[in-house]
Amino acid sequence: MPCRYKKQRLRYILTLLKKQGSVKISSLVKVLDVTERTLRRDINDLVKTGHVRSCYGGAVYNHDNAFPLYENNSLYLHQNIIINQSKIEREISMNENNGKVYILGSFNTDLVYRLHRFPISGETTRALFSCCLPGGKGSNQAIASAQANARTYFTVKLGEDEFSTKAQHFLNGVGLEKLTIFTKSDAPTGSAVVMISEEAGDNVIVINPGANQEITSEEIISCYDEIGTANVFLTQMENNPDATAQAIKFAHAAGVMTILNPAPWRKEVTDLLRWTHILTPNLTEAEAIIGKAIRTPDDIRQAAEIMHQMGPQYILITLGKDGCWLFDGSTHQQFPAYPAVNIDTSGAGDAFNGALAARLACGENIANAIHYACVFAALAVEREGAANMPSHELVLKRLACTKY
């Protein structure tokens, strides 16, 4: 089993450690067909995540209380989207003192394909692995917020099809404080194709929003009472822009902290910036907002200042493996990414945004909330599936054992 790609090796070693408890470098050399020196480097990378400790001639797995969101972590939505209810029960104690996050967002059925590399135009390529998982930026962020210990209210619109039935079952089992589902009979439940490249360590996503684009003004108005009593309102751009604008304007007028994750990018984002307290673009979205390329730290600094002048109180640019960049109108600060074994990066931004909203709603200052969100995202990318989020306890454990 020659293993050319580092991320494939790391995933294989980590899976083996979870099953066996320990591994020997001498055995891995024979299976993976790489040098001992390469494997020692791989194990050192795993040690940095806190999951593994090295020992003479190999490594040992550090067991924790992680639980899979999906049965066997290889869920096929059309066959068995059943949540492992016995494992999803969160250990945290929810009460009225936990902050309230309101999320208007999307649900998509994610068709996920893991590849050696992204195909070029006109090329047909074979997937290493494929599955069908629950996703959508709003749904992912709501799960992250709930897992990060906030009372989470989520509003979504679905079609009236097989995926809608599965989605409702799924969303009712992920620990939300309240779930509001609107439906539309002549629109499909949203869907997305996610391609993950082993070589690039990154992903590309194509979305068919379906019913996510059909939320009406009357439906938004029916949610005003709950939006107005939230500590934080979080939304993205996978719903129709008019509904998104109506909701964020109301939240802002009601004195609720608003977070806009401008993904996927669409031109209507610029119309929402004046109603946004915290804007969380990645580099691609930041480039679209300011209309020019961002290549250097000076470019990031300038971009943050330009976006700040457009209305938001805080600009928080996510930088992937380089962490994130915060500008509050006077001070720039870069926060590091935390060590992680990248198993699936497709939900990293959603994990970050949901966790950030949760910790701000629970009273954390923005710097502490960002550190927490960075760790939360690092743990999330170590799991298969964009909606497969870590628990609050695991994040606190990683924060306690990671030093910078």
DSSP 131-156: EEEEE-HHHHHHHHHHHTT-EEEEEE
- Average pLDDT for runs of 10 along the chain of length 404: 65 80 86 85 77 82 53 39 34 59 95 89 90 90 95 96 90 91 95 86 85 96 96 97 97 97 95 97 97 96 98 96 95 92 83 98 96 94 82 90 64
The one-letter amino acid code at 298 reads D
Joined together, the tokens standing for residue 21 give 């408890």
Q: In the structure, how many helices (H) and strands (E) does the chain have?
A: 16, 16
Residues assigned a catalytic role: 350
Q: Is 90 exposed, middle or buried (0-12, 13-18, 19+ CB in 10 A)?
A: middle
CA distances from residue 35 to 7, 53, 56, 108 in whole angstroms, order as listed: 16, 20, 17, 42
pTM of the model: 0.80
198 neighbors 179 (Cβ within 8 angstroms): no
CA distances from residue 155 to 138, 249, 342 in whole angstroms, order as listed: 8, 16, 30
Q: Is 197 annotated as a binding residue?
A: no
Q: Is 329 annotated as a binding residue?
A: no
Q: Is 137 annotated as a binding residue?
A: yes
Joined together, the tokens standing for residue 19 give 């099953």
381 neighbors 345 (Cβ within 8 angstroms): yes
Q: Is 385 annotated as a binding residue?
A: yes
User: How many angstroms separate the first and last alpha carbons of the chain?
Assistant: 37
Q: Is 266 annotated as a binding residue?
A: no
CA distances from residue 200 to 114, 117, 220, 378 in whole angstroms, order as listed: 11, 7, 40, 17
Q: Is 346 annotated as a binding residue?
A: yes
Cα atoms in the Cβ-side hemisphere of radius 13 Å centred on 382: 27
Q: At what angle do helices 392-401 and 366-380 cross, to 10 degrees?
A: 100
Cα separation, 329 vs 305, in Å, equals 7
Please tell me the predicted confidence (pLDDT) of residue 63: 62
Q: Is 344 annotated as a binding residue?
A: yes
Distance of CA 327 to the CA centre of its chain: 22
Cβ contacts of 218 within 8 Å, gap of 6 or more? none
Q: Which residues pair with 58 in a beta bridge?
A: 24, 55
Joined together, the tokens standing for residue 68 give 């899979």
Residue 132 phi/psi, 5-degree rounding, is: -125, 115
Please tell me the predicted confidence (pLDDT) of residue 42: 84
Q: Which residues pair with 317 in a beta bridge?
A: 325
Q: Is 140 annotated as a binding residue?
A: yes
Q: How many residues in total does the chain contain?
A: 404
Please tell me the predicted confidence (pLDDT) of residue 5: 67
Please tell me the predicted confidence (pLDDT) of residue 82: 36
CA distances from residue 149 to 88, 97, 249, 298, 362 in whole angstroms, order as listed: 14, 10, 26, 36, 8
Joined together, the tokens standing for residue 124 give 């047909």
